[in-house]
Amino acid sequence: MNEQRITGLSLTDELPTAVWFSEGVIHKVETIPASELEDPDLYLAPGLIDNQVNGYKGVDFSSPELSPEKVRQTVGEIWQMGVTTFLPTLITMPEDILLHSLHILAESMEQDDLGLSMPGIHLEGPYISDQPGYRGAHDPAWIRPPDWNEFKRLQSAANGKITQITVAPELPGGIGFIEKCRQNRIIVALGHHAAPSNIIHKAVEAGATVSTHLGNACANMIDRHNNILWAQLANDNLMATIIADGHHLTPDELCVLYKVKGPDNLVIVSDLVTFGGLAPGEYSWNGRTLTVSSEGTVGYKNEQILAGATYALKDGVINMMRFAGCTLEKSIDLASRNPARLNHLYDRGILHAGFRADIIRFRVMAQQLQIAETWVSGKCVFKS
């Protein structure tokens, strides 16, 4: 048994700590003398888990040009940001493009090192609202009502790897579709929808368990009483994912969402897109022009619509500390323990004996979480 040990400060009390692991599994976490620390400024934490990654640095998962090489390139980039697990996310597209991307992702997930970091695929659409505001950057030409026969074709191309789907429950057949997903152990998220309160609650009864990037994909002008927000905030059986990049939601919104949903029912996502990591400027995407601003936002400038994000999940961790008053430990939970529970990944997300050795070492400097090392199942996949 090849036993390994890494050291750092614990998130709970900043005590010097060692994590012992072998064969990819943690078997001991213990407090050690400060003199045994390899670096007195490094923290230890479970690897981050991102529920929504659409692509990065020119790679778009929802593209007919997606290849296994591009998937591997993106996974390597994701590891550098401290993310050890993520759900590659596909958005609303024609069926042939979705079939292609799902096949490529499933093929990549069969490779041992990549499969460790990609336990499933998040399908965000095409079964969403086509109303302006609620559809966000999704092309209305390809939006359609839920179709279980089509979904079975998609799931077959994905080799059963679609584990989460974002839907609009108010669409014809929406509630029945959610029930079928629940019966097939697929996590259902409510997003890009314009459902009234009674339909939202029915969707939860049918099996929906989470809201996709709550507070976004919402019309700018809404009724102050009858809107999509109140019911999703009020329903304790709905977790919520949020984009905490400082642009999709204001500091006050992040603070309120944290207070309402609480530290156990909120999940930070990056919603990274292909333009993340690219220089500011104008880019062509699906026949339309998108602008990446110097502040890091990406969207259709003239329509005031954001089209995903360019900030890493680790930036959201810092922002929740800045804006919502989270401790470092609680903020890390929003990006590790909570998404693990949301996705039924009971082997990761916590630094405890018996859990997978998905570990990051990092320092916090100048309001940044700087990744020093990323370990996936006991293997160091990134070292700065």
What tens digit of pLDDT does each residue of 359-368 get? 999 999 989 9
Q: How confident is the model at residue 301 (pLDDT cuts 50, 70, 90)?
A: confident
Q: Same structural domain for residues 114 and 85?
A: yes
Q: Same structural domain for residues 20 and 153?
A: no
Average pLDDT over residues 279-299: 89
Name, in order, each residue with C-beta under 8 angstroms of 148's C-beta and a sequence gap of 6 or more.
177, 180
Q: Same structural domain for residues 63 and 40?
A: no
Q: Same structural domain for residues 171 and 245?
A: yes
Say if residues 20 and 32 touch (Cβ distance below 8 Å).
no
Q: How confident is the model at residue 324 (pLDDT cuts 50, 70, 90)?
A: very high
Q: What is the pLDDT of residue 360?
A: 98
Cα separation, 312 vs 152, in Å, equals: 32
Mean of per-residue pLDDT scores for the chain: 96
Q: Same structural domain for residues 86 and 112?
A: yes
Q: Same structural domain for residues 167 and 315?
A: yes
Lowest mean pLDDT among 180-184, 186-190, 197-201, 278-282: 278-282
Burial of 311 (0-12, 13-18, 19+ CB in 10 A): buried
pLDDT digits (tens, 9 = 90+) for 192-204: 999 999 999 999 9
Res. 230: pLDDT tops 90: yes
* 91 part of a folded domain: yes
Q: What is the pLDDT of residue 17?
A: 98
Count of structural domains, the chain? 2
Q: Same structural domain for residues 56 and 40?
A: no
- The b/e string for 6-37 (b: 16+ C-beta within 10 A; e otherwise) is bbbbbbeeeebbbbebeeeebeebeeeeeeeb
Average pLDDT over residues 320-340: 97
* 357 part of a folded domain: no
Q: Same structural domain for residues 39 and 55?
A: no
Provide the CB-side half-sphere exposure for 133 (13 A, CA): 9
Q: Which residues form the domain of 36?
A: 4-44+364-383
Say if residues 10 and 34 touch (Cβ distance below 8 Å).
no
Q: Same structural domain for residues 89 and 28?
A: no
Q: Same structural domain for residues 329 and 185?
A: yes
* 287 part of a folded domain: no
Res. 214: pLDDT tops 80: yes
Res. 1: pLDDT tops 70: no
Q: What is the pLDDT of residue 274?
A: 95
* 288 part of a folded domain: no
Res. 234: pLDDT tops 70: yes
* 303 part of a folded domain: no
CATH of the domain at 137: 3.20.20.140
Q: Same structural domain for residues 39 and 63?
A: no
* 249 part of a folded domain: yes
Taking phi over 0 as left and psi of -120 to 50 as alpha, with beta for the rest, 341 belongs to alpha
Average pLDDT over residues 258-272: 97
Q: How confident is the model at residue 220 (pLDDT cuts 50, 70, 90)?
A: confident
Q: Same structural domain for residues 179 and 271?
A: yes
* 294 part of a folded domain: no
In the chain, the amino acid numbered 280 is P
